[in-house]
Amino acid sequence: MAEKIKILYLDDEMDNLTGFKATLRLDYQVYTAVNVPTALEHLVKHPDIRVIFCDQRMPGKTGVEFFEELRGTHPLPMRILLTGYTDIDSVIDSINRGNIFRFVKKPWIEAELVSAIEEANKFYQANSMLAIKNDELQRAYSELDKFAYSVSHDIRGPLSGILGAINVARDMHDIAEMREMLFLMEKSLKKLDTYILSMHDYYSLQRGELHIGEVDFQKMVEEFKDIYRTAASTAQINFKVNINQREPFRSDTVPLKLVLNNLLSNAFKYQNKNTDAKVVELNIEVNKGAAVITVSDTGIGILGNHLGEIFNLFYRASSQEAGSGFGLYNVKSALLKLNGQIEVNSVLNKGTTFKVIIPSK
């Protein structure tokens, strides 16, 4: 059954409150208040109250004054004024100051109350959806601004580096110098390629739908062993892998691989170059309907004041290595699709551990 619409009624006459609740209690969740403080307590305890009725004539504060205050603190609930007289000045005042949705005359008729509630609920739902869409639009504009800056910095930067190297190489005759220019161009192209792949992952996550299937972590991790074997050997990093899959696990392999790849990539990339015993460790345990994945490294670590920002789009906590600021944002986006969670613990110059928990589908 659908959850009942929650209604609040404020009136200084107890008989009115009792009759109102008795009339509507079977079809709606009704809260009553004999004074403003009690009404505010209900609104704090039940932020999903959708409709508020209030008597206009109350001692100390009119219904219009009460609704005027609510516009700033509780803007979403629809406001309906109950009044026993037809004063045009009061009506105008109510609309201008209290943003009243509707009036109901006292004594009320049940059919009129129900009609007012149903109409108010439709407007509440429409306004709530509009607020959600406005938030989404604001986030989209914010990401667009960041993306415009990123395009200028992360795409034009490498291209400018390549063009500069080409211009310098035109006047070179020494093979060693030419090789150095080629090396610089290669670095710029790799940076650009990384950015494009990260952007592709970003839009794939935003647009794609989940495709659930059986996941064999042993087989999946073998792919990553092949990918990172050269990096581990070149940088003298001990790559440790422990997998304990006790039961079948179902999920979408595409976002799952993205999470693993981005966390491992960062673990290899941000190693502490002053440490001889460099380690990247991947642990996966599947048990009781969930996969717990931890990726640990002996890297440079992350400052505490950066930990709350590292999952934001285009945010980079370190400039030690080239990066686009997509990686951990894509990890967060992938985990949202998989209904997963992530924790991070880091000590500066000691290393970082990411712990991911993903439920089986």
**Between 96 and 333, where is the model more confident?**
333
Domain's final residue, options 185, 207, 229: 207
The count of C-alpha atoms lying within 13 angstroms of the C-alpha of 358, restricted to the half-sphere facing its C-beta, is 28
**Between 53 and 155, where is the model more confident?**
53
Q: Is 21 exposed, middle or buried (0-12, 13-18, 19+ CB in 10 A)?
A: middle
255 and 325 belong to one structural domain: yes
Which tens digits make up the pLDDT trace of 227-278? 777 777 777 888 899 999 989 999 888 788 888 888 888 888 888 877 778 8
pLDDT(301) > 50: yes
Arithmetic mean of pLDDT, 90-111: 73
Is position 178 within any domain? Answer: yes
pLDDT(348) > 60: yes
298 and 323 belong to one structural domain: yes
pLDDT(202) > 80: no
31, two tokens:
């809260």
Given this model, what pLDDT does residue 292 score?
Answer: 95
Arithmetic mean of pLDDT, 12-39: 91
354: left (phi over 0), alpha (psi -120 to 50) or beta: beta
Ranges of beta strands (E only) in the chain are 6-10, 29-33, 51-55, 78-83, 102-105, 213-214, 237-245, 250-251, 278-287, 290-297, 341-347, 351-359
Given this model, what pLDDT does residue 191 score?
Answer: 66
Domain's final residue, options 156, 181, 207: 207
The model carries a pTM of 0.50
- In terms of residue numbers, what domain contains 173? 146-207
Is position 140 within any domain? Answer: no
- Mean pLDDT over the full length of the chain: 80
CATH of the domain at 259: 3.30.565.10
DSSP 8-state secondary structure symbol assigned to residue 108: P
For 291-329, b/e burial (b = at least 16 CB within 10 A) is bebbbbbbbbbbeeeeeeebbebbbbbbeeebbbbbbbb
Which tens digits make up the pLDDT trace of 124-179? 888 888 878 877 777 666 666 656 655 655 666 667 677 777 877 788 888 887 88
The rounded distance, in Å, linking the Cα atoms of 256 and 251 is 8
Q: Is 202 exposed, middle or buried (0-12, 13-18, 19+ CB in 10 A)?
A: buried
Is position 137 within any domain? Answer: no
320 and 353 belong to one structural domain: yes
CATH of the domain at 181: 1.10.287
Task: Count structural domains, the chain.
Answer: 3
The rounded distance, in Å, linking the Cα atoms of 79 and 118 is 13
pLDDT(1) > 50: no
pLDDT(14) > 60: yes
Given this model, what pLDDT does residue 275 score?
Answer: 79
Given this model, what pLDDT does residue 50 score?
Answer: 93
Which tens digits make up the pLDDT trace of 57-84? 888 888 888 888 888 888 889 999 888 7
pLDDT(27) > 70: yes
The rounded distance, in Å, linking the Cα atoms of 216 and 212 is 13
To 5 degrees, how large is the angle CA 119–CA 124–CA 130?
Answer: 130
Domain's final residue, options 207, 228, 251: 207
Which segment of 138-142, 201-205, 306-310, 356-360 scores lowest on mean pLDDT?
A: 201-205
Arithmetic mean of pLDDT, 36-45: 92
238 and 335 belong to one structural domain: yes
246 and 189 belong to one structural domain: no
Distance of CA 167 to the CA centre of its chain: 45
